[in-house]
Every structure is written in C-alpha cells, then in structure tokens.
Amino acid sequence: MSHKEYLFTSESVSEGHPDKVCDRISDSIVDAFLAADPDARVAVETLATTNRVVLAGEVRGPSSVANDQTMIDAAREAIRAIGYDQEGFSWKTAEISCHVHEQSVDIAQGVDSRDNKDLGAGDQGIMFGYACDETDELMPAPIQFSHRILRHMAEDRHSGKSAVFGPDAKSQVTLRYVDGKPVGATSVVVSTQHHDGYSQDDVRAAVLPYIAQALPEGWLPPEDEIYINPTGRFVIGGPDGDAGVTGRKIIVDTYGGAAPHGGGAFSGKDPTKVDRSAAYAARYLAKNVVAAGLASKCTLQVAYAIGVSKPLSLYVNTHETGDVDEVKLARVLRELMDLSPRGIREHLNLCAPIYTPTSAYGHFGRQPEEGGFFSWEKTDLVGELKSAFGA
C-alpha cells in the first residue's frame, strides 16, 4: 500500500568512521592484489580498535602481494590517507597483525573455470539493484544528500580549507514525501569529530554551510530540527572511540534502506564474489532502465549458487511506475548483459584496482571515471532499451 505522505530517513558515515576505516583497508588490499594480478582472489576482513588493526581472510595471488608485510603496508597507508595520526590511532604507531592465509582449495575448485566449465559464483546469495528518479544520480534522495554532506566536509578537511573537522563523522537526513516524491527536509543530524579547542557553537557554525550546500534550495529544515553534535564534545573518534569491522555498513553502502539488500557486504572482496559484482550489475541494469525512461523506480534481484556460472533467477519490479512488461524487461536485460560472474566482470571491467574509492560515501550514485572506476554507474544501455520497447 502506498502512503500519500510520509517521512523517510537515511544515514551516511564518513571515511574515518571505525567501520569505514576497515572497509578502506580491506579494499586497499583488494586493489593491491588486482594491480599485481587481475585474476587474484581476495577475501580480507579488518578489525580496528585503539591503535591496533587485525587482518584476516584468504587470498590467492603473487607472492609479491600475498605476504604479511605488503598487506600491513597497505593497511598503514590506508590509515594515513584517511588522516589518522592521533594518540589513540595513528598510521605511524598502530600495531597491525596479519592472519591472512591461502584460499581454500575446496572453494577454488568450485569457482575456477576448467575444461568446459565456466567461472562459477564465489558463493550462493541474492543481490539487489535499485534506481529511482529522485536525484540526478538516480539514487534515493535521503542517502544521496547524507553522503553529500560528509563528502564535502571530508574534501575540505583534506585540502586544509577546514581546520575544525576530524576524520570520524555521521550524518542523517529525513525527508518528507508527498505522492511518492521528496519535497523537503524535516530534520538533519550531523555528528563530527573535531579538534580540541572548538566549542559546540564553533562546530555548528562550521557544519551548517555543508548542510545548506547538500540540500536543494528551500529544503532546509527549521533551525531547531538541525542537530549538530547533539551529545556535545566529540574529540576522541575513529577506532579509538569505537571498534570497527569490515562490512558493517551495508545499508550506507547501498540505498539507505530505500531498497532491499541481499545481506552480503562488498568491501574486501574481489569481483569473482557475486556479493559484490552482481550487486554492481543489478544497480547498472536498474539505473539504465530508469535512465531510459521505462520506469521512475526499478528494483532487480539476481540469485546464484556457489560454483554455478548462470544466475538462478532474475526478478524485475518497476513498482507500477512504468508501462513496460516486466517479464519482457527481464528477458531483454539478460540479452543485453551476460550475468555470469565472468560476463559481469568483463562487461563492467571489474578486474582492475578500482575499489578503494568505493569504501566510503556509497558504492552507488557516483560518477564513472577514467580507468574503470564506478563503471556500473554508466547508462550506456539506454539506447538499446529504448529500441527494445519502442520508447
């Protein structure tokens, strides 16, 4: 049942949030392996706490990368790039231990291609993709605006334009919807780590322009509904304030709760893992459906079995926002893109070291860049989709 008017909220977290520190480290290790060997296998998890990082998982790749010191160096560089050089968490002094081992031969034999068998899925699972016309990026507005606030704050922290902010931050945006469309913000929450010596008023004054910049003109909520560091002082942050683990921000990574999620996290996994690659493919197809004007919302689900190359199912739902036959749409999408693990990797060029930038501010709603970054955000199927449906 659709509601005529309702509120919907999504949150984002910055690259310095403890869980995102772990995502960044894990994806940095993925990129290090793929830079050395595009066919490398990586499944690395990270735990971070006060001045300590633990790496665990399984890999298969060149010995130049598949050794403890190289992975430890990648982790330390990731911490430096985020900006942590604090007493309780510093890239210089953090103790980093590596417990990564060789990939299981049982998993390898089910996944690898051999004889007449194509590359199989790295695990069973269901993955979802979603797109809608609420923003130019074809993303749900609450999550997109939440990301935008923190991304701009981080850009100015890194450039030195702002001397107030520390790396750790969270945002939350609540929008009012009328007839299924967002019309304004009813509240915004931003909690940001800050350097010692700044008052709560100082931090509020520093953050307010980023909120105004992120929201469409006229969408700012009343002043008493803008909550900035509502608990007060926030100097101790990051893994020193709270432990972090890879893969705990999957809703932040995707659609902010506006669409289903299959459950699998992305960071730390090479693209043979369909948790990651098939979720990217599903977003790619859903985005092209909306970009082609066939619907204003589109949800896709794709399912796999470990070691099996073909997807078990493809489900398409346009939420009664288009006039297309969804059965035909699913068939056309499967004709336009080979949804086997190998087909996805080749179509989207996923075997390159492109994953570190995905580790914060969302895997979706980003701009495709040279080198294959965010290739799943391209809308290069629009022409073929329009032709198939006479649009």
Whether 87 is catalytic: no
Active site residue: 8, 11, 15, 19, which one? 19
Give the 3-state secondary structure percentages of the chain, helix then strand then coil, rounded to 5.
35, 25, 40
Whether 328 is catalytic: no
Whether 386 is catalytic: no
Task: Judge whether 273 is annotated as a binding position.
Answer: yes
Task: Judge whether 168 is annotated as a binding position.
Answer: yes
Task: Write out the DSSP string of 150-163.
Answer: HHHHHHHHHHTS-S
Question: What is the spatial distance between Cα 182 and Cα 167, in angstroms, rounded to a whole number?
Answer: 30
Task: Judge whether 147 is annotated as a binding position.
Answer: no
Cβ-in-10-Å burial (0-12, 13-18, 19+) of 305 comes to: middle
Copy the structure tokens of residue 84: 């942590």
Task: Judge whether 269 is annotated as a binding position.
Answer: yes
Active site residue: 37, 39, 58, 77, which one? 58
Task: Judge whether 303 is annotated as a binding position.
Answer: no
Count how many residues are written for the chain: 391
Active site residue: 243, 305, 330, 352, which one? 243
The secondary structure element, H or E, covering residue 111 is helix 105-111
Task: Judge whether 249 is annotated as a binding position.
Answer: yes
Active site residue: 275, 281, 345, 347, which one? 275
Task: Judge whether 95 is annotated as a binding position.
Answer: no
Active site residue: 170, 276, 287, 366, which one? 170
Cα distances from 117 to residues 79, 112, 308, in angstroms, run 41, 8, 9
Residues 6 or more apart whose Cβ sits within 8 Å of residue 355: 27, 30, 31, 34, 267
Active site residue: 248, 276, 283, 287, which one? 248
Whether 378 is catalytic: no
Whether 45 is catalytic: yes
Task: Judge whether 45 is annotated as a binding position.
Answer: yes
Whether 17 is catalytic: yes
C-beta separation of 51 from 44 below 8 A: no
Whether 20 is catalytic: yes
Task: Judge whether 169 is annotated as a binding position.
Answer: yes
Task: Judge whether 106 is annotated as a binding position.
Answer: no
Give the largest Cα separation in the chain, rounded: 67
Task: Judge whether 242 is annotated as a binding position.
Answer: yes
Whether 310 is catalytic: no
* Nearest alpha-carbon partner for 170 in 14, 16, 20, 23: 14
Task: Write out the DSSP string of 167-227.
Answer: EEEEEEEEEEEETTEEEEEEEEEEEEEE-TT--HHHHHHHHHHHHHHHSPTT-PPPGGGEE
Strand, helix or coil at 292?
Answer: coil
Active site residue: 41, 157, 249, 347, which one? 249
Active site residue: 37, 39, 133, 242, which one? 242
Question: What is the spatial distance between Cα 227 and Cα 219, in angstroms, rounded to a whole number?
Answer: 16
Active site residue: 8, 17, 75, 287, which one? 17
Cα distances from 273 to residues 164, 178, 368, in angstroms, run 40, 39, 21
Binding residue numbers for K(+): 45
> Which residues are known catalytic residues?
17, 19-20, 45, 58, 170, 234, 242-243, 248-249, 269, 273, 275
Binding residue numbers for ATP: 17, 168-170, 233-234, 242, 248-249, 265, 269
Binding residue numbers for L-methionine: 58, 103, 242, 273
Binding residue numbers for Mg(2+): 19
Binding residue numbers: 17, 19, 45, 58, 103, 168-170, 233-234, 242, 248-249, 265, 269, 273
